[in-house]
Amino acid sequence: MKLLNLSLLIHLCSLLLVSTQPTDQPPFSCDSTDPLTESYNFCKTTLPINRRVEDLVSRLTLDEKISQLVSTATAIPRLGIPGYEWWSEALHGVAFVANISQGIRFNGTIRSATSFPQVILAAASFDPDPRWGRGQETPGEDPLVTGKYAVSFVRGIQGDSFEGGKLGESLQVSACCKHFTAYDLDNWKGINRFVFDANVTLQDLADTYQPPFQSCIEKGKASGVMCAYNRINGVPNCADYNLLSKTARGQWGFNGYITSDCDAVSIIYDEQGYVKEPEDAVADVLTAGMDLDCGEYLKNYTGSAIEKKKVAVSDIDRALHNLFSIRMRLGLFNGNPAKQPFGNIGSDQVCSQEHLNLALEAARNGIVLLKNDNRLLPLAKTEITSLAVIGPNANSSETLVGNYAGPPCNPVTPLQGLQSYVKNINYHPGCNTVNCSSDLTDEAMKINDQNIGSIIWAGYPGEAGGRALAEIIFGDHNPGGRLPITWYPQNLTKIPMTDMRMRPEPSSGYPGRTYRFYQGPKVFEFGYGLSYTNYSYEFLPLTKDKVYLNNQSSDKIALGYKSVSEMGTELCEKSKLPVTVRVQNNGEMDGKHAVLLFVRQAKTGNERPIKQLVGFNNVDLKAGENAEIKFELSPCEHLSSAEGDGQIVVDEGSHFLSIGDKESEITVVFSEDTSDAATSKLMILPRILIFFYIYSFIPMHIVLK
């Protein structure tokens, strides 16, 4: 079957130290054996980075400055500065980067890297401690999950603590949130990602697309952002001053560099026709706040843009300040890298057993059991003597790791994983490709049972995915993953991919998108997932079941809503309250269980979400064991939604917390003050979006014989 999944994305990449250098340039900056190093303030680690960067930029000629504005920054030998390749990939393991002369490659002593599950499967674990990011290509459709995933990923990879707040100037790696923003499609009926103009309402921007990027920057302290190819309401992302400078830097306090997607600057002129000449494209992106061109457009046209007085040198200096600040935070101007904290990482620390075990654990925790009629699974290891395994992906190591991947250390396909349990396996690909366009299906059906009793969704589980899948099928691991997406029926593919609306429109038959707004049939719901055991839930009594958002204790509820901005930070902080849920494993098998806390309003409609996730966590429970899971409910964040003009508001009245089939009521109370000030509209927030991705899944059939 073909599955259409429009889901939120935070794209994450990492900048890694250059692994190879041409022999005609310095091996590293600020070499202590070079007598000139002592005269360079940019090499003095005792000085603040701002002063070091100012000194470096002041020494550059205009041509040298321009050469640093592109992803393959050339060397500056007279200052002892080697070339630098900004483009590297680390979605779920260090990956290839093609067509570059320097950067990450696997043709030396290190020829592979641990391949973790793609984000779509890692997110299905609903574990707030992810290990890798970017995706295939999304942590799911929910803005809370996406934001939390981004924050944990960025903190971990950059060297911060899990809780945050311990990251100083130094970076062990620089994490980049992308693609900023509303990067919704690749190619749909002749409309491609390069020319797509995403029309998005302020309401959807404010409570769906905006929050994950904001979390990535404000809470995660990401040091990089990539602007996407497409336009937002007519304006190219990389040329949008409101998006890059006012929102990311101004409102969210972003402190880092902003790069284009590769060749995104060129398409502003070449394909979108947004400007009259190449120099206008250069001027627009630099004045908007972009710093780095993944490509060569700025290298080719910045000089002429200056000559035509379309670009000021001060805009270039600002960009260089942001770029060299990152390189200095990474320690690339601190002298010999072998003497730095991460300078002696050897091949024994790549593909280590610790990393391989972690990849296996991540795959186990993300795989989702969707159907298990008559408890067909797990299979009895002592009774099964033969299996039929059908599907083109059953023996494909490439499919395991998904896209943007490097060579895995020791990939185990599903077929290989099953062969470790059952020796007599009859395998047939069924189709040449997943779209089943060949005639091999009839041959495969001769060895396949029509009555499918169990379905497992494994996403792209990484190099250990085949082993994890086999362990689940034969009961050595209890599945606990949950779908991070809504599984729509086939007929949803009739809805144009260019339609960005979240909210439904009953008059036209548009059903909306994602579990928060979609009004239509579902194959499987967001958060759905079965286990080999049964769990029950119980809300412990709340410390208070009424939240007063007026600094007064009054049982009289005012009509309407209040804007979060109007209530202020102090009141929002004071209104937070703990929510505790007791989870019981009632079955006979130990398991790791994802606990998802939702909230819904008593009255739906008014373009409010049907329900929305406000918290999630994981708990390991032995058979018969129970545990208490604590959440913090923030009414200003978790009970809020967006008005049509984009302002975030909290509605008065009853809200219901829910986990499984259990609910607990909490009431929001306002004062009697219904003046204009209490319901005034705030200034419309600048436009911010985040990217959507189409995800298709073809199940692999495993038949018991």
List active site positions: 261
CA torsion angle 150 154 160 166 (round to 10): -60
Buried b (16+ CB within 10 A) or exposed e, 665-692: ebbbbbbeeeeeebbeeeeebbbbbbbb
Radius of gyration of the chain (CA): 27
Helices (H), ranges, 201-260: 202-204, 210-218, 241
**Distance in angstroms (rounded) separating the CA atoms of residues 258 and 251:** 15
Find all residues with CB under 8 Å of 684, minimum gap 6, and list them.
202, 645, 646, 647
What are φ and ψ of residue 279, in 5° steps? -65, -30
What are φ and ψ of residue 361, in 5° steps? -65, -40
Which among 522, 527, 667, 637 has a CA at the least distance from the CA of 142? 527
Find all residues with CB under 8 Å of 5, minimum gap 6, and list them.
141, 485, 486, 487, 488, 693, 694, 695, 696
Provide the 3-class DSSP secondary structure of residue 391: coil
**Distance in angstroms (rounded) separating the CA atoms of residues 226 and 295:** 13
Segment holding 56, helix H or strand E: helix 49-58
Residues forming beta bridges with residue 583, ordered by sequence position: 537, 627
Which among 666, 659, 668 has a CA at the least distance from the CA of 539? 659
Structure tokens at 352: 């280590």
**Distance in angstroms (rounded) separating the CA atoms of residues 678 and 668:** 15
The DSSP annotation for 267-327 comes to: HHHHTS--SSSHHHHHHHHHHHT--BBSSSHHHHHHHHHHHTTSS-HHHHHHHHHHHHHHH
What are φ and ψ of residue 412, in 5° steps? -120, 115
Identify whether the C-beta of residue 581 lies closer than 8 Å to the C-beta of residue 538. yes
Identify whether the C-beta of residue 590 lies closer than 8 Å to the C-beta of residue 620. yes
Identify whether the C-beta of residue 424 lies closer than 8 Å to the C-beta of residue 704. no
**Distance in angstroms (rounded) separating the CA atoms of residues 603 and 560:** 13
**Distance in angstroms (rounded) separating the CA atoms of residues 382 and 495:** 49
Find all residues with CB under 8 Å of 435, minimum gap 6, and list them.
698
Task: For helices 143-158 and 210-218, give the axis angle rounded to 10 degrees.
Answer: 20
